[in-house]
Structure formats: C-alpha cells, structure tokens
Amino acid sequence: MEELKGKAWKFGDDISTDHIAPGRLFHLRTDLPELAKHVLEDADPEFASKMKKGDFVVGGRNFGLGSSREHAPRIIKIAGVSAVLAKSFARIFFRNSINVGLPVLVCDTDKIDLGDELEIDLAKGIIKDTTKEIELTFQPLPPAMVRILSDGGIVEHYKKHNGFKLD
Amino acid sequence: MGKTLAEKILSAKSNEDAKAGDIVIVDVDVMALQDGTGPLAIQQFDEMGAEKVARPDKTIFFMDHAAPSPRKELSNAHMMIRSFADRTGAKYSEICDGVIHQRLVESVTSPGDVVIGADSHTCMSGALGAFATGMGSTDLAVAMAAGKTWMKVPETIKVELKGIFPKGVSPKDAIIYFIGKIGADGATYQALEFTGQTVESMEMTDRFTLTNMAVESGSKAGIIAADDITRKYLADQGRADDYRPEFADDDGEYVETHVIEVDSLEPMISMPHTVDNTSTVTDAAGTKVQQVFIGSCTNGRLSDLTAVAEILKGRRVNKGTRLIITPASRDVYLDAIREGVAEELVEAGAMITGPGCGACVGVHGGILGDEEVCVATTNRNFRGRMGNPEGSIYLASPETAAATAVKGEITDPREFL
C-alpha cells in the first residue's frame, strides 16, 4: 500500500454524519462531487475550501456517529482526504469507510495538532508526525475488514469471490 | 452455554452455532432503504453488474425523508427508486405511507427475522424479536443481490427495567436517561436487550421507542423478546401468522447488566447537541422555545398523539411557539382522524402535516431559524440535524413536548397532569 502524506485538520469528539453531510444538503446526495464541496461544513465551514488533496481528518472520540449515510465517508474520500484518524469511530461509519475504501485509523489523536505534517505507512501501521518528530501506531483492522479493504471494497470483494470470503 | 437473543437469531440465520465475536454470513429476511440512501444503493447494485434482486418481495424502498419532495433533485431520486422497483420487482412505499421503521413494524418485520436497513434507526424493528441493524448503501446493494450479508455477532448488554412509570414519565424518558448514563458510544458494536417486568408489560408502541434509540448509544441492535404482547400486536396488524415466540436462553451470557428503576425516574431531556447530554426537565425548565415538533419513528404513533392531546385539551399552543405534528405513518394518521385526536390537536393550535420523517431530518417540514430552539420527540439533536446549524434541539417525551408547547418554554409535563 502507498504511503500517505499531508496536513492534519483537527476536529473534536462526536463529529456526526450531520456535520459531515448535513440534511439541509439532502438534495445533493445524488451529486457527490458537489456535496463533497461542503464536506464537514457544519464542523468547520472553511475546511472544504482550504484542505489540500492528501490531507488528513483527525477527530476525537466516536467519529462519524449518527446516520447510516454512506455519503459521509464517500465525500471525505472524494474531497481528497487520504485517511481519517480518530480515538474511536461509530460502527456504521467505520464499516461504510472500509466498504468505500477510505482508511480509518484508530490512534491517540491527542498527540496531533492542527497543521501538523503527517506521513502514514498503512502496511507498517506507523503514523509519523514530522512536525513534532514523533511516531504513533494505530490499531490493526479486524481481519475480515482487511480482506474487504485489500480487495478494493465490498463490491469488488463480492465480485472477486462470487460471494463473501472472510475467514 | 445458552444464547442471547442476538446469538439465537444470528445462529438460526447462519446455520452455525454463533457466539459473540464470531463472523457469520446470514440470510437476510428484510432489506429496507429510504429515499436518501436508496439511490446510492441502486447505483452500486448496477455497478456490481447485478441484475436480479434476491428477495424482491422483501426488498423495500421507503420514500419518507422527502415526502412529498420539496426539490426537483429529490423528485428525480424518487423516480429512480420507482423505476428500479419496476425493473427488478422490488417494492416501494409511496410518499403518503410513512416512515420506513414504522412501516416495517406495521407490515413487514416478524420475530426471528434478520432485518438490514440503509438507515441507522433500523434497530427499531428489534422490538418485535428480530435482529435489525443499520448499514450503508453499498452493504445494502450487495445484500440485495446476494440475499445475504456478513456480520460480527455482537456481545449483548442487558437493560432491565423495573417498576411502574410515574404519571408524566414515559419510556422515552427511560431511554434518554439510559443513553445519558452509558454515553453516545457506551455500547458501540454491542446489542442491547431490553428486559424486566416493565418491558414485559409494555405495549409495542412503547417498546418501539426503546429499540429505536438503541443506536444513540452506539449499539448495533436493540432487541426485545417476542411474547404475547408481540403476538397481539401482530394480530391487530392482520399478521397473526407472522408471530413466533422468540426468547433468550436463561443462561445466555451478557457483558453487562443495567437496571433502571422507573419508579424513581423523572421527565428527562437531551440538551444540544448530543443525545447523551441529558438533564431532568426540571433542571432545563424555563428555556424559551420557538418550535415544538412531535413525530418521527421514535414518538409519532397514535399513543404519542393521544398523550399530547390530553395535555392540550382545553389549552392553546403558546403565542410565539409553533407546534408541528407529523404522524409516523398513514395508519397512524387515519387512526388519529377517526378517533378525533387530530381534531383536538388542530383545535389547540397544532399544524398536522402528512406522514413521513418531516422536520426530524432537516430536509423540509419545519426547518429552524438562526438561534431558534426546538423541543422535539425525535431521536437526534446533532448540530444541523433539523436543517440549520445555528438552531438548537432538545429531545423529550411527547408529554414534555406538549407541556412545552402550551407554555412556550421547556416545561415539566407533571404541571399539567
């Protein structure tokens, strides 16, 4: 897997799918590139316009709680975010992220500040904060999810194996 | 070793001896989608190259979030759903029929079923002794084609309710209290099994309120045994044949047990902007409120509307406060008309809208203005949930919402009872 490189954008605890893809933009759900211009708008109105391709979203606890809307991880990915880091993730958001191929990494995000430059090696499981010159590790994904992610998402997994092959 | 309800149902549907932590492939009995998540599932289904829906009779799209459609983009999304259903034999529920979860319990979900829905509150169906959980559009697309999905069998937390609710205190207060106690991520990846004498004697309408909000603690499912009350409910729905008893084993293994003594509960409220930011209504009383919304899959049923009408009887909605009531389904709406409840509500100054998700999801039907405060009987109060990040949402019972509408400020309903 490739090495990811970019800047950290910090968000707090309990970032909901309403922060990421709000209901007032419900009509844009069939136009994801347009919806992606508003990604995380209700948490940080400037994020979408200021972030650069490759940057990281860094949250606190229970990132992605709320609705099952898969549009949330999809527009984070479409916006160019290379991974989401958080202390913990809500269940449906986590599963959706794997399904759509967005890396979601559980680590101690208190050690990372806004604007820190990060380099992440997904295969080795290492996050380098080159601004602070520290290294963090992230929890390995459950094996079933590694299978799905390495097949390129749940649709590709299902097609490749003509069914589920998770053990 | 015995099994929890989640383990029992997932064992039966995977043909395996499933225990918490196992990964299983299960047959899916019901696949539910709505107008916000359905179109993306259709795109993914087509992208997979799938042509046939595995269980067309139990693959159902509900047009409820934008009902009726307030914008052309959403009208087009509805067209996409109708045309997919026509081409595959999948079913759809029209804009006039009601909220996905209410429609599922009225007409679709049966005890022992595995239900997956592209909507997080799919867990509500668990009140009928089913394993019901929310997933994303792509998981639904794969399940529509395969008739199966994969799951990790969850550990289960037992939530035992004891005692009799005091006047003015309802199951909504109990679930708000519980989420405040356990936290918004307190049960992530786990199932909640609601038990105890209070639940055993509770009507289905109130059981639905409990399981509906299971996901607000991070839970994967909220489940209640299918018993005689379930049997009676299904018979009343004209579905007597769909009943089968569904109970956990006495020696099932639970990771935790929480006991809630409902005798000592007070009216509870979730304050902005998270469901677990709870308080007693007494402590939050006095906050001025511009909008009261009564409805949703959580508390938009006939018993909720009746409880509201009882408080509004002989009273008026306060000037400066608007009261919007959205029945959860067409059946609820019809019953409210037939029983005279709708008339009482309108007379007291309420606006009744057609059935659906209404103002709960921020698409239309009661968007908040800047700095406005709303008390809602719904299940979420995240920033921006009701269409404006500058608005604030408090979650409460129908009784508290009604009392609040009368006084124009957050009010303990026991003042009126």
Domain that holds residue B34: 11-261
Looking at the structure of chain A, the number of domains it has is: 1
CB contact at 8 A, A37 and A81: no
Q: Which of A30, A65, A155 sits opposite B184 (nearest CB)?
A: A65
Beta carbons of B384 and A158 less than 8 Å apart: no
Q: What is the mean pLDDT of residues B53-61?
A: 98
B306/B240 same-domain check:
no
CA distance readout (Å), B18 to A1, B3, B95, B151, B221: 34, 9, 39, 11, 16
In a domain, A156, yes or no: no
Cβ contacts of B80 on chain A, cutoff 8 Å: 30
B243/B97 same-domain check:
yes
Put residue B184 in one of left, alpha, beta given phi > 0 → left and psi -120 to 50 → alpha: alpha
Q: Read off the tokens for B124.
A: 């509500």
State the smallest CA–CA distance between residue B142 and chain A in angstroms: 7
Q: Is the pLDDT of residue B1 over 90?
A: no
Could you tell me which residues are beta bridge partners of residue A10?
A: A58
In a domain, A62, yes or no: yes
In a domain, B5, yes or no: no
- Taking the C-alpha atoms of residue A45 and residue A51, their distance in angstroms, rounded to an integer, is 11
Do you find a cis peptide bond into B68, omega within 30 degrees of 0? yes
Cβ contacts of B145 on chain A, cutoff 8 Å: 158
Helix (H) or strand (E) holding A49: helix A47-50
Q: Read off the tokens for A24.
A: 């007032």
In the structure, what pLDDT confidence band is assigned to residue B53 with cuts at 50, 70 and 90? very high
Q: Is the pLDDT of residue A128 over 60?
A: yes
B252/B400 same-domain check:
no
B169/B296 same-domain check:
no
In a domain, B167, yes or no: yes
B32/B88 same-domain check:
yes
The residue type of B283 is: D
In a domain, B223, yes or no: yes
Cβ contacts of A155 on chain B, cutoff 8 Å: 44, 47-48, 138, 141-142
Write the secondary structure of B181-206 as one string of H (helix), E (strand) and C (coil).
Answer: HHCCCCCCCCEEEEECHHHHCCCHHH
State the pLDDT at residue B372.
Answer: 98
State the smallest CA–CA distance between residue B64 and chain A in angstroms: 13
Q: Which of A22, A30, A61 sits opposite B362 (nearest CB)?
A: A22
CATH of residue A67's domain is 3.20.19.10
Residue of A nearest to B21 (CA): A142
In a domain, B4, yes or no: no
Q: What is the mean pLDDT of residues A9-27?
A: 96
B153/B285 same-domain check:
no
Would you say the C-alpha torsion B378, B382, B388, B392 has a positive or negative sign?
positive
- Taking the C-alpha atoms of residue B165 and residue B261, their distance in angstroms, rounded to an integer, is 9
Task: Report helix angle B38-47 to B137-146, nearest 10.
Answer: 50
The mean of the pLDDT values for chain B is 98
- Taking the C-alpha atoms of residue B254 and residue B3, their distance in angstroms, rounded to an integer, is 9
Each residue of B271-280: pLDDT tens digit? 999 999 999 9
Beta carbons of A29 and B361 less than 8 Å apart: no
Residue of B nearest to A24 (CA): B387
- Taking the C-alpha atoms of residue B79 and residue B42, their distance in angstroms, rounded to an integer, is 12
Beta carbons of B141 and A70 less than 8 Å apart: no
B330/B356 same-domain check:
yes
Beta carbons of A68 and B37 less than 8 Å apart: yes
Q: Which residues are CB-neighbours of B360 under 8 A, at least 6 positions away? A: B293, B295, B296, B326, B376, B378, B379, B380, B385, B386
CB contact at 8 A, A138 and A25: no
Burial category of B282 from C-beta neighbours within 10 Å (exposed 0-12, middle 13-18, buried 19 and up)? middle
State the pLDDT at residue B109.
Answer: 98
Beta carbons of A29 and B39 less than 8 Å apart: yes
Each residue of B105-160: pLDDT tens digit? 999 999 999 999 999 999 999 999 999 999 999 999 999 999 999 999 999 999 99
B93/B28 same-domain check:
yes
- Taking the C-alpha atoms of residue A44 and residue B273, their distance in angstroms, rounded to an integer, is 16
- Taking the C-alpha atoms of residue B384 and residue B392, their distance in angstroms, rounded to an integer, is 8
Task: Show which of B261, B290, B309 is a domain's final residue.
Answer: B261
Q: What is the mean pLDDT of residues B275-300?
A: 98
Q: Is the pLDDT of residue A2 over 70?
A: no
Q: Read off the tokens for B380.
A: 């979420």
Cβ contacts of A100 on chain B, cutoff 8 Å: 136, 138
Cβ contacts of B384 on chain A, cutoff 8 Å: 18-19, 22-24, 42
Please check whether residue B238 touches A, CB under 8 A.
no
Task: Show which of B203, B236, B261 is a domain's final residue.
Answer: B261
Q: Read off the tokens for B229.
A: 């009350």
Task: Show which of B261, B285, B309 is a domain's final residue.
Answer: B261
B302/B184 same-domain check:
no
Q: Which of A112-126, B76-90, B321-335 has the weakest average pLDDT?
A: A112-126
ipTM: 0.95
Domain that holds residue A43: 3-139
State the pLDDT at residue B314.
Answer: 96
Q: What is the mean pLDDT of residues B220-228?
A: 98
User: To which residue do tokens 């959580």 refer?
Assistant: B298
In a domain, A146, yes or no: no
Would you say the C-alpha torsion B314, B399, B117, B41 has a positive or negative sign?
positive
Please check whether residue B279 touches A, CB under 8 A.
no
- Three-state DSSP class for A136? strand
Q: Which of A26, A155, A164 sits opposite B36 (nearest CB)?
A: A26
Please check whether residue A61 touches B, CB under 8 A.
yes
State the smallest CA–CA distance between residue B119 and chain A in angstroms: 5
CB contact at 8 A, B134 and B121: yes
In a domain, A124, yes or no: yes
In a domain, A102, yes or no: yes
In a domain, B134, yes or no: yes
Q: What is the mean pLDDT of residues B15-38?
A: 97
Beta carbons of B188 and A91 less than 8 Å apart: yes
In a domain, A69, yes or no: yes
In a domain, A150, yes or no: no
Q: Is the pLDDT of residue A1 over 80?
A: no
- Long-range own/partner contacts, residues B15-22 (CB < 8 A, 24 or more apart): B18/B153, B19/B153, B20/B153, B20/B154, B20/B155, B20/B156, B20/B253, B20/B255, B21/B152, B21/B153, B21/B155, B22/B152, B22/B153
CATH of residue B362's domain is 3.30.499.10
The mean of the pLDDT values for chain A is 94
Helix (H) or strand (E) holding A59: none
CA distance readout (Å), B316 to B287, B320, B336, B343, B407: 19, 12, 19, 13, 9
B167/B290 same-domain check:
no
State the smallest CA–CA distance between residue B115 and chain A in angstroms: 14
Looking at the structure of chain B, the number of domains it has is: 2
Burial category of B250 from C-beta neighbours within 10 Å (exposed 0-12, middle 13-18, buried 19 and up)? exposed
State the pLDDT at residue A124.
Answer: 86
Strands B268-270 and B278-280: antiparallel
0.80 exceeded by the pTM? yes
Each residue of A81-121: pLDDT tens digit? 999 999 999 999 999 999 999 999 999 999 999 999 999 99
In a domain, B397, yes or no: yes
Least Cα distance to B297 among B328, B318, B324 occurs for B328
CB contact at 8 A, A122 and A145: no
Q: Which of B48, B71, B188 sits opposite A159 (nearest CB)?
A: B48
